[in-house]
């Protein structure tokens, strides 16, 4: 995931999302998201943000509602609220660097 500010991004993934930071430097950091390794890559002089592209989906241990409440109180903005679909529920949000993330829960 491209990042503009490594310190801010590591705080977001480590402290706000509660994931494990396994490696940290100014140009590359690694986050363990329950066995999925997320690489944070410092942008090289660009701050180009574009919608679209890859989306990292997390399936929270608890319910989506609880995680949305927890992150909202930590200052995270959810871009579309929680939506229900035949294939499950999602709650899209952005990380501290503008990358697309979402919570996902399969249908009951």
pLDDT band for position 67 (50/70/90)?
A: very high
pLDDT at 51 over 70: no
Give dist(CA 36, CA 32) in Å, integer.
Answer: 6
pLDDT at residue 82, as a whole number: 95
pLDDT at 46 over 60: no
φ/ψ of 61, rounded to 5, equals -60, -45
Is the CB of residue 3 less than 8 Å from the CB of residue 10? no
Q: How far is CA 102 from CA 17, 28, 44, 46, 68, in A?
A: 12, 22, 26, 24, 10
pLDDT at 28 over 60: yes
pLDDT band for position 14 (50/70/90)?
A: very high
pLDDT at residue 38, as a whole number: 92
pLDDT at residue 48, as a whole number: 58
pLDDT at residue 49, as a whole number: 58
The reported pTM is 0.73
Structure-token match 């989306």, residue found: 55
């Amino acid at each position: 995931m491209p990042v503009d500010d490594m310190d801010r991004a590591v705080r977001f993934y480590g402290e706000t999302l509660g994931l494990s930071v396994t490696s940290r430097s100014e140009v590359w950091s690694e986050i363990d998201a329950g066995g999925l390794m997320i690489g944070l890559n410092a942008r090289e002089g660009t701050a180009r943000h574009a919608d679209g592209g890859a989306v990292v989906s997390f399936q929270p241990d608890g319910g989506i509602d609880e995680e949305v409440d927890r992150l909202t109180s930590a200052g995270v903005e959810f871009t579309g609220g929680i939506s229900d679909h035949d294939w499950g529920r999602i709650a899209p949000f952005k990380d501290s660097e503008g990358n697309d993330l979402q919570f996902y829960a399969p249908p009951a």
